[in-house]
């Protein structure tokens, strides 16, 4: 329902017919969005696929992208992609 009404988006990155990584923007409001899930298949991890998909998503959204995740989980992954710690949230742009 939310995808149909452009208030959420789901993304996948496919390689050779296989989904290697996927992600969800669970909330899109005005030009900003909340990234709540990034999942890369175990055999495809540390190959850059997750980072590529998150970068693509951030460029697809006109405003800010916030992430919702467990505290300190994958901090290096997100800071390398340009997210900044702004307290409870991490923000891209």
Tokens 């993304």: give the residue: 11
Q: Which domain holds residue 57?
A: 9-92
**28: in domain:** yes
Residue 86: predicted pLDDT:
80
- 3-class SS of residue 5: coil
Residue 37: predicted pLDDT:
86
Residue 89: predicted pLDDT:
63
Q: How many domains does the chain have?
A: 1
Query: How far does Cα 89 stand from its chain's mean position?
Result: 14
**29: in domain:** yes
What is the DSSP-derived secondary structure letter of residue 75?
H
Q: Which residues of the chain have pLDDT under 70?
A: 88-93
Residue 53: predicted pLDDT:
96
**2: in domain:** no
CATH of the domain at 37: 3.40.630.30
């Amino acid at each position: 329902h939310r995808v149909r009404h452009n208030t959420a988006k789901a993304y996948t990155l496919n390689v050779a017919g296989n989904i290697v990584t996927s992600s969800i923007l669970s909330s899109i409001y005005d030009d900003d969005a909340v990234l709540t899930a990034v999942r890369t298949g175990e055999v495809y991890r540390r190959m850059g696929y997750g980072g590529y998909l998150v970068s693509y998503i951030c460029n697809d959204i006109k405003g800010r992208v916030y992430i919702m995740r467990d505290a300190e989980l994958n901090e290096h992954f997100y800071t390398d992609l340009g997210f900044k710690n702004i307290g409870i949230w991490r923000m891209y742009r």
